[in-house]
Amino acid sequence: MTMPTDAASPDAVTEARTGDPTGRPTSDAALRRLLHGLPGVDAVGLEARAATLGTRSIKTTAKAYALDLAISMIDLTTLEGADTPGKVRALCAKGAAPDPTDRTAPRVAAICVYPDMVATAKQALADAGAPGIHVASVATAFPAGRAALDVKLADTRAAVAAGADEIDMVIDRGAFLAGRYLQVYEEIQQVKAECGTAHLKVIFENGELATYDNIRRASWLAMLAGADFIKTSTGKVAVNATPPGTLLMLEAVRDFRAATGRQVGVKPAGGIRTAKDAVKYLVMVNETLGEDWLSPDWFRFGASSLLGDLLMQRQKLATGRYSGPDYVTVD
């Protein structure tokens, strides 16, 4: 495991907060000093670290463990305008029993849907005998986040009232990129307050943040504001989860815990479709954060079509051959 190198100084963290339990920042200026006081990201070094971790090979026994762990970390997602109750019910059935030929295949962590599909997903999971699988709902005018705060809070409230266990909110990238950090901070805090006991994942849309420095700043801003998880992307723009962007966020949660004692989870999302890629991400988590984060409580994959390849690779390990898409649903 590498040592923390990129932490904000404890003084800066303290200055950005009043010290009250809500961690409300003193001012936009204090937040700006903290976020712009973070060390600049060495892009070449970051990309080299991510590439190196991506080349690690793992033993067959570790691979079997990694495939099952990856399945158990999936937020199995459908976020389409054309989603129907029937599609959501089918997705829930798949998440509850991913491999009908092998009941030892683990269940996914959560089903991720729009707020209007939360009740359907909750019922379908109960019907499938898998009430332990969480329902995650995107909210706050996903994916663009262009709506008044009241609308975003109402969106969150509706998802929670329908039974969402987790809320995936998007940050206002326009406000963030214009430097209105306190506005973004307060929006996250207010959405968090609407969540009640539901966990809050904060989506940055890394592909729109323009620089690695901004991804580091967004990570600290969201964590200070109370995010339970930080998430890379919506899956709806050209650049979604990437290994360097995710590695940067892993380093940020490591350094945030070192500075504050609070552990925050990480969710890369969008474009992760192969078991090979999923295993690379898990190697990155293990090497950067160690076992403390190697569980669905602290690491998730947001993915609509990763599960099929993980199941095919799992069957290949068990039988020595691919069963093929006749036996595993490939999206």
Ligand X SMILES: O=C[C@H](O)COP(=O)(O)O
List the catalytic residues.
Answer: 168, 231, 267
Q: Residue 182 or residue 310: which is nearer to ligand X going by CB?
A: 310
Site string for ligand X, 279-308 (x = CB under 6 A): -----------------------xxxx---
Three-state DSSP state, 223:
helix
| Residue whose CB is nearest to ligand X in the complex, by number | 235
Question: How long is the chain?
Answer: 331
Strands (E), 189-313: 199-203, 229-231, 265-267, 301-303
Q: What element of type H or E holds 152?
A: helix 149-161
Tokens coding 280: 């690379």
- By CB under 6 A, name the one of 226, 244, 268, 271 that touches ligand X: 271
Unique residue bearing structure tokens 């070094």 = 45
Residue 277 buriedness (CB in 10 A; 0-12 / 13-18 / 19+):
buried
Stretch that binds ligand X, among 3-11, 157-165, 205-213, 267-275 (CB under 6 A): 267-275
CB of 235 to ligand X, least distance (A): 2
Nearer to ligand X, 99 or 277 (CB): 277
305 or 323: whose CB is closer to ligand X?
305
Q: Interface with ligand X includes 140 (CB under 6 A)?
A: no
**DSSP code for 30:** H
Shortest reach from residue 112's CB to ligand X, in Å: 6
How many C-beta atoms lie closer than 10 Å to residue 163's C-beta? 16
Shortest Å, Cβ 32 to ligand X:
30
Nearer of residues 35 and 303 to ligand X, judged by Cβ: 303
Contact stretch for ligand X (CB under 6 A) within 254-262, 269-277, 308-316, 318-326 = 269-277
Among residue numbers 145 through 174, which ones bind ligand X (CB under 6 A)? none
Distances (CA, A) of 83 to 146, 210, 287: 22, 31, 38
CA distance 59 to 64: 9
- The CA distance from 161 to 173, in Å, is 27
Nearest-approach distance from CB 285 to ligand X, in angstroms: 18
Closest distance between ligand X and the C-beta of residue 198, in Å?
Answer: 16
Q: Which two tokens stand for residue 256?
A: 């945030």
Residue number, 16 or 170, with CB nearest to ligand X: 170
Query: Which residues are 175's β-sheet partners?
Result: none
Residues 65-104 that bind ligand X (CB under 6 A): 77, 79
> CB 220: neighbour CB atoms within 10 A?
26
Nearer to ligand X, 38 or 112 (CB): 112
What is the total count of residues that contact ligand X (CB under 6 A)? 12
Please say which residue, 112 or 215, places its beta carbon nearer to ligand X.
112
| Angle in degrees, 0-180, between the axes of helices 306-319 and 275-289, rounded to the nearest 10 | 90
Tokens 């099952």, residue?
A: 68
Which two tokens mark 110? 């959560």
Give the x/- contact pattern for ligand X in 104-133, rule: CB under 6 A: --------x---------------------
Partners of 19 in the β-ladder = none
Candidate list 145, 245, 268, 270; residue touching ligand X; CB under 6 A: 270
Which region, judged by CB under 6 A, interacts with ligand X, from 89-97, 217-225, 254-262, 268-276?
268-276
Summarize as ranges the residues that interact with ligand X (CB under 6 A): 77, 79, 112, 234-235, 269-271, 302-305
